[in-house]
Amino acid sequence: MQRQKPRGPGKPGPRFKSGKGFKPQPGKGNQNNKNNQKRPRDEFKKSKLAATDTEIQDLKAKYTEIDAQAIKKFRDFPLSHKTQKALAEFKFINPTLVQRESIGPALMGKDVLGAAVTGSGKTLAFLIPVLEHLYINKWSRTDGVAAIIISPTRELAYQIFETLKKVGKHHDFSAGLIIGGKNLKFERTRMDQCNILICTPGRLLQHMDENPLFNTSSLEVLVLDEADRCLDMGFQKTLNSIIENFPPERQTLLFSATQTNTVEDLARLNLKDPVYVGYGTKAGDSTSTPSSTSTKEVAVLAVPELLQQSYVVLNLEDKITMLWSFIKNHLKQKIIVFVASCKQAKYLYEIFCKLRPGVPLLSLYGTLHQDRRIAIYEDFLKKSHVVMFSTDVASRGLDFPAVNWVVQLDCPEDVSQYIHRAGRSARNKSRGECLLVLTPSEEEHMIGALKEQLNVDIRCVQIDPKKLFSPRVKIEAFLAQFPELRATAQRAFLSYLKSVFLMRNKRLFNVFSLDLDAFAQSLGLAVTPRVPFLEKFLWRQKLLQQKQPHDTDPECPTIRDKLLPKITKKQSFGGGGGVSDEDDDSDSDDEDFIRVKRRDHDVEGEPVELDPKVGPNEKEDEPLVVPKREKKLVTKASLAKKALKKNLQVNSKVKFDEEGESVVDGRSQMMALARKQRDDNEDDDDDDDGGIDLVRSKALLTEEDQYDKQRFRELVKKRHKLQREKLRKKAEAAKGSSDEEEEEEDDHDHHNPDAASDSEHSVDLSWLPDPDKIYKKRSNETGDATASATESDAGEDEDDSGDDDDDDDNSDEEPAYKKSKLTNKLTLLDTEAIAASLLGS
């Protein structure tokens, strides 16, 4: 399927004409010199283009003659000289089996489904045809996206990108790595200039949705690495949306060690007559075969030949002791330890770091920041003696060199997960070992499935008790010392149980068969943490059983025995000493700590009846539907808001005055008002997802600031008023000794009704020293102006009694004590007046 590439806008064309009659023009020396220089360069370019054309024609002609059996070396393939050169430089001389069988059909433009054992070189099997496709079609940087390679994890995408950089070293194509956790804006501006994109599904869809510059209409090759993982339930919706955006006419290459072959998947990808590589034929029903025949292509499941596999059976609570002893006995090795959840990987890393086993430790899991993940990935690549605790984020595709041991501390979900984890060791014809740790309830089913599907005999190893060293006491001491570590241990405990609870295969994973107390103790926890999701689940079971009493089974599994009697409706979901409403909310936080990415989990469905006591020997594949979660994510901010709405006032402060009356605190009232206002606003805004609203906070602060200022002014006024009061009392006391002249004036005032009414409504100024008395005597010396100024001062004072602000504002007015300098001689009253005015200011 070789299609003609659409011509891009920037297609290089002839820049100038040169021919036989070309002669230098007089007077245009510089120009002619330039042309003289240009001519050989352009001629060289032209001849180069002609050579490329010839090469392309030759290569195309040879595609139909490719015989996979006859190919011994890469140079036997009709590959461009640029690809051949890079392959030779990086010592890729002999193609592996999967490369030999898949590169030929892929070069011819056929769809390929490639299944091959881990570490067998599938990456090159699709990268070489992608590069050749672009070369043959003379793709240039400006022609847009020609190929998209999708990988389920960021690290794998990064690794593919690094391999592409090697093998495409001499080509001129542009390539981009589009994975989550990176700068979206940066990617956005460059995506349309990339010819090859290597991406994770989520990020690719994000660009498709949000980036108007991103156009996939020119796409010609789609590659899914770890195709079965990309196509399973975890990515189903995302991938369907992605595929909708691709042109239907394209080449599709699917690769994995555990390949998909379901009709639905192949139909979703619009595969046309695909070539199966690494598949065997097996009798099957006609509905499940792509070509509706009576046999079907089945990917051959296998592990690397040089991988030594063994397993050990332990109780859950002995796993840490076993792991510690194992690491202490393999200090000079490179080991990956696979666990079921991020929180376990984090806890094991932290506690083992504290225990100091004597070997470098690393941990890799999905909730780490992307830069940190890449740094850890690269660190593990380089180190030769190291232990890395990891989730399944590292189980697929990652090509760590010389890994001596893979320890599967928690049981894999199925055989294909076992294969991928184990395949991190013994890669590309090197040796490696894999140790599977199983609990007694997991042994029968898992080992049976492995023997049946892989057709290998896995060795069961017995642990020598003398070689076991238990770090339990030390762990308990560390947990007592570091509360954060204790919290991590509790989370690890819950996340393991949750992962077991969510597993579909109830024959293999039965959370009710676990001894929780012993498990908690093995993690160093003195008290077994509550398991809210199990309590909730069992409560629902109890309700169902009450509705259908005949279904009640006398047999009760371990956990149910322990948990159920404790739970009454009131305790669990009402108030009381058990789990309150608030607790219930907080539990939903626990329920959200795992994002289900595993295949075929229906976690969104209606709660249906479940049988918590399905044991290892009971019916397989009972439908498991986890209690329906709240759709809205419960954040701490929303919980806090909920508490606020309930108007719970914690430790509120009440002030009392001297009479024992409660005093209203204006400030707290004002703040409560502002808070109420804010809450009202937030109620309107349903999309609020927590955090600080800066604009609102700024407005609130300004409001509070103004309020504080006003309060301060009022306090100052109050103080001034008190001081004046004191002064007045003093003056009144002094008034007792005033002369007859004053009395006469008073009498006169009494007879004057206007004056009387004035004195009623205005402030009593009688306490003030009589200015006339002070100044009259020397009126000859001073002018009228001075006297009037003093009068106006008195008038100011009256106003001041009403508003002290004016006091401040009229600071330009000369103070009384300055004016008194005009007098040569001061009476006692004058001195008091000056002192009073000083105090008042």
In the bound state with ligand ATP, the residue whose beta carbon lies nearer, of 127 and 834, is: 127
The answer to whether 92 contacts ligand ATP (rule: CB under 6 A) is yes
State how far the alpha carbon of 699 is from the alpha carbons of 216, 356, 678, 759, in Å: 47, 53, 11, 47
Tell me if 663 sits within 8 A of 657, measured CB to CB.
yes
CA 84 – CA 80 distance, rounded (Å): 6
The answer to whether 120 contacts ligand ATP (rule: CB under 6 A) is yes
Q: How many residues bind ligand ATP (CB under 6 A)?
A: 19
Angle at 289 between CA 288 and CA 294, to 5 degrees: 100
The answer to whether 513 contacts ligand ATP (rule: CB under 6 A) is no
In the bound state with ligand ATP, the residue whose beta carbon lies nearer, of 96 and 216, is: 96
Give the count of beta carbons closer than 10 Å to the beta carbon of residue 683.
Answer: 11
Q: Name the minimum Å distance from CB 99 to ligand ATP.
A: 6
For the chain, the helix, strand and coil percentages under 3-state DSSP, each to the nearest 5: 50, 10, 40
Pick the binder of ligand ATP from 78, 105, 121, 557 (CB under 6 A).
121
Q: Name the minimum Å distance from CB 399 to ligand ATP.
A: 4
The answer to whether 118 contacts ligand ATP (rule: CB under 6 A) is yes
Of 523, 467, 475, give the one whose Cα is nearest residue 325: 467
In the bound state with ligand ATP, the residue whose beta carbon lies nearer, of 423 and 524, is: 423
In one letter, which amino acid is 517?
A: D
The answer to whether 95 contacts ligand ATP (rule: CB under 6 A) is yes
CA 205 – CA 239 distance, rounded (Å): 8
SS3 362: strand
The answer to whether 122 contacts ligand ATP (rule: CB under 6 A) is yes
Which part of the chain contacts ligand ATP (CB under 6 A), choosing from 120-128, 611-619, 695-703, 787-795?
A: 120-128
The answer to whether 5 contacts ligand ATP (rule: CB under 6 A) is no
Residues 392-421 binding ligand ATP (CB under 6 A) are 397, 399
Which part of the chain contacts ligand ATP (CB under 6 A), choosing from 54-62, 89-97, 300-308, 467-475?
A: 89-97
The answer to whether 123 contacts ligand ATP (rule: CB under 6 A) is yes
In the bound state with ligand ATP, the residue whose beta carbon lies nearer, of 275 and 822, is: 275
Q: Residues 6 or more apart from 154 whose CB is under 8 A from it?
A: 179, 180, 181, 200, 370, 373, 374
Angle at 529 between CA 528 and CA 531, to 5 degrees: 120
Q: Name the minimum Å distance from CB 401 to ligand ATP.
A: 7
| Structure tokens belonging to residue 226 | 């770890």
The answer to whether 229 contacts ligand ATP (rule: CB under 6 A) is no
Residues 249-268 binding ligand ATP (CB under 6 A) are 257
Give the count of beta carbons closer than 10 Å to the beta carbon of residue 477.
Answer: 12
> Interface mask (CB under 6 A) for ligand ATP, residues 98-117, using x and -?
-x----------------x-
In the bound state with ligand ATP, the residue whose beta carbon lies nearer, of 128 and 610, is: 128
Q: Name the minimum Å distance from CB 303 to ligand ATP.
A: 11
In sequence order, what are the beta bridge partners of 390? Answer: 338, 364
Q: Residues 6 or more apart from 831 whose CB is under 8 A from it?
A: none
The answer to whether 269 contacts ligand ATP (rule: CB under 6 A) is no
Which part of the chain contacts ligand ATP (CB under 6 A), choosing from 121-129, 211-219, 382-390, 640-648?
A: 121-129
Which part of the chain contacts ligand ATP (CB under 6 A), choosing from 94-102, 332-340, 709-717, 792-800?
A: 94-102
Q: Residues 6 or more apart from 749 whose CB is under 8 A from it?
A: 755, 756, 759
Q: Which residue is nearest to ligand ATP (CB)?
A: 121
Alpha helices by DSSP H, 9-78: 29-63
In the bound state with ligand ATP, the residue whose beta carbon lies nearer, of 155 and 800, is: 155
Of 362, 256, 71, give the one whose Cα is nearest residue 265: 256
Q: Name the minimum Å distance from CB 90 to ligand ATP.
A: 8
Pick the binder of ligand ATP from 427, 498, 506, 613 (CB under 6 A).
427
Tell me if 334 sits within 8 A of 402, measured CB to CB.
yes
Which part of the chain contacts ligand ATP (CB under 6 A), choosing from 234-242, 423-431, 522-530, 781-789?
A: 423-431
CA 491 – CA 344 distance, rounded (Å): 8
List residues binding ligand ATP (CB under 6 A).
92, 94-96, 99, 116, 118-124, 257, 397, 399, 423, 427-428
